[in-house]
Structure 1
């Protein structure tokens, strides 16, 4: 296997189009999705997952790994990534949508374990109190987590409580692989996002969400 190339950029910047063009131009290149939502089967429109036609043109990896109701962690992704790149004889092209997954894949991130008892105790507390506590302990991690995202706030506090390590220190990407950033000016990016959302509606996003809800998505620990 040749060393991976990493493709970075914001949502709707055009990373997938660039990746497809690059993979078709350079023989032996295969695309590896580095995205926390595209691992779930059936979550296609809402995650802008590569189409079946694109996947027929260029081999893709780390897509559709589990059902949305199944828990899936960064540790699980690292295992799937290692297995996938082990099958690539040419060059892996990593299309990065989730920073933590990218770090886990290429930086050999030392991923903390899980402590259900501590998590359960934290889950019993008010989210506002947990958020304030995280901000005091690890402001870097707090700045990266939406205040309303209980699961991520609890996980960050779980890690720092049991290991003493600051989650904010675990998520920086050390760009020791060739990296290309797909940049778009903010006004253009906003327009591209609006266009993407309109296209999602046309492709049946509402029906997809209804189907996923009927299949138990709200009970999914990590996908919901």
Structure 2
């Protein structure tokens, strides 16, 4: 039986700089398949070096999807991403690789999150923000007490989102959320660095490589084209280099801050992914990593074959 005709998904996730892309390229070639990106910044065109976007050569070697699908001035919502990813999973040759460190993107796919399709409304958010968080949270307790119980009183972002959904749709966000997991088999592989110093070295090396590859020039081009105020320029790596270009800090300080902030970001990613028991973890620094993961992939596919036969 040809089990390639049935949707199958292999997830490669984990913190930044753990080698997810390199492992995925190797697996994709062995499986003769493609890679779906699960990175919330790689979806944006022109943000290449600072997002560690796969090179042209890598994309020629293995087709990549969900990269460069949105202009820097646009907003791609999680619901937009989920819709496009789900369409690819059901239409492309299986198994597919879903690769990245954006936990919410991955959760949206593997858990089948139900996401209210309500685009951000800046005018409404501005009006609500002007009332203050205390008043907004009080409103939320009145219109959606279930959501209010799950949202911390000081969490302005989630409070505003819940109110936004309610005022636009007329229905509480708690009624529109939930999960509808897909019925196809999923294998989740996580990469982690057991040695904190090893991860720091990886991050430092990658930061230096990005600068050498032209990160500063990339930031300058983006500033010239879109202005200093483009929100994406306030994200990791770009923010620090923007301050360097503005003359606020030296290049060495910008690189050092990038390393520090990347380490902090990696810690938050680890905390997110650690909450999901279905992820099978592998040491990113083990010399036989590819062979060990490949063995697990083969076991996964053999089990599918047995269940379908």
TM range (shorter): 0.7 to 0.9
CA distance in 1, matches of 2:149, 2:227: 31
Is residue 191 from structure 1 mapped to residue 196 from structure 2 by the alignment?
no
Indicate the residue corresponding to 1:108 in structure 2.
Answer: 112
* Greater RCO (CA < 8 Å, at least 6 residues apart): 1
Q: Look up the match of 2:72.
A: 68
Instruction: State the 1:157 CA deviation.
Output: 6.1
* CA 195–160 in structure 1, closer or farther in 2 if over 3 Å, else same: farther
Change beyond 3 A, Cα 1:112–1:22: same
Q: Does 1:21 align with 2:31?
A: no
Aligned Cα RMSD in Å?
3.7
Q: From the superposition, tell whether residues 140 and 200 of structure 1 become closer, same or farther in structure 2 (CA, over 3 Å).
A: farther
| Match of residue 182, structure 1, among 173, 177, 191 | 191
Higher deviation after alignment, 210-219 or 53-62: 210-219
Q: Which has the higher helix share?
A: 2
The structural deviation recorded for 1:84 is 2.6
Q: Aligned equivalents of 1:141 and 1:12: distance in 2?
A: 31
Q: Runs in 1 of length 4+ with deviation above 3 angstroms?
A: 125-131, 137-142, 150-162, 217-224
Residue number in structure 2 paired with 1:6: 11
CA distance in 2, matches of 1:155, 1:99: 19
1:51 aligns to what?
55
Q: Structure 1-normalised TM-score?
A: 0.77
Instruction: Give distance in 1, aligned partners of 2:65 and 2:212.
Output: 26
Equivalent residues, number:
215
SS in 1 for 2:174: coil
Superposition TM-score, scaled by structure 2 size: 0.58
